[in-house]
Amino acid sequence: MARIRKCVITAAGTGTRLLPFTKEGIKEMMPVYAKGTKGIVLKPIIQIIYESVFDFGIRDFCFVVRKKKRAINDHFTINKNDRANGNAEIGIFLNMISQSEITYAQQKNPRGFGDAVSKSKSFVGEANFLLHAGDDIILSPNNDHLQRLEDAFFKYNADVAFLIDEMDDVRAYGVIEGAEIERGIIKIKALEEKPKKPKSNMGVIAIYIFKSSVFSILEKARSRRRDDMQLSDAVKIIIDSGNAIGVKIKRSERRIDVGMPESYVNSVNASYQFSTKGGYHRFKSQAKNG
């Protein structure tokens, strides 16, 4: 059973790079393939994330959502008329929901990833918690990526631990520098957001475990900006004054995301391979770590 008891899943972004779909639709509800009980099925991205975290052992969830988009709330709410009607996949999902405590927090205005995270403060309280972006999936046998992340967080008494991946072109990501303290584990020394000249090829994946102290650090980071609050600013403060750990994803794992039309195509292809063959063929543009 997971030692981390709470999970915050953010799904409040505007999805501007996926317009016109996101004018009414929600990118986190876009479907990708998943392995079902009787073959492959289509599931919303955010459902796959929720199910992976549930299978890891967490039962207490907070979804950070946009006020005007109720599709996520509706999807994770059991109504009195909901029935599986013989569909095993729906039955399994409804059973998971019935075993979970699910709350919602609203980000009314798009003021940064850190601002979205700050909306979950009352849910988290004083606990350590898993933060998972709602548009990032790690295809990982047996959720091993979450187990390694949790193990590293506690082993090194980290203030934050997050997943990282080696990439051919890392300029669109947060890029870290650090030293490997054991195989696949990096002690983070610096973080730079979307650098024109990256100092490494290791990019941040938006899946973190934080101590609750991050909320006071977010407020400190907000004071440095006028209108928004970026999580990366808080992580930089932690790196400078605390203990930040990076955990590499393995070659047997794959990150998929739906940030852009092109990445969504890759996500659909990779999820199909993973669901039908129990694995996938890594694209040349993706990571090459061990």
Residue 287 forms part of a structural domain: no
How many domains is the chain partitioned into structurally?
A: 1
Residue 123 confidence (pLDDT): 98
> Has residue 190 been placed in a domain?
yes
Inform me whether the pLDDT recorded for 289 exceeds 60: no
Q: Do the domain assignments include residue 286?
A: no
Identify the pLDDT of residue 186.
Answer: 96
- Answer yes or no: is 290 within a domain: no
pLDDT, the chain, mean: 87
Provide Rg for the chain, Cα atoms. 18
> What CATH number is attached to the domain comprising 198?
3.90.550.10
Residue with tokens 């609750």, as numbered in its chain? 212
The reply to whether 237 falls in a domain is yes
What range does the domain containing 109 cover?
6-277
> Is the pLDDT assigned to residue 290 strictly greater than 70?
no
Q: Give tens-digit pLDDT for 142-181.
A: 889 999 999 999 999 999 999 999 888 888 888 999 999 9
Output the pLDDT for position 155: 97
* Residue 137 belongs to some domain of the structure: yes
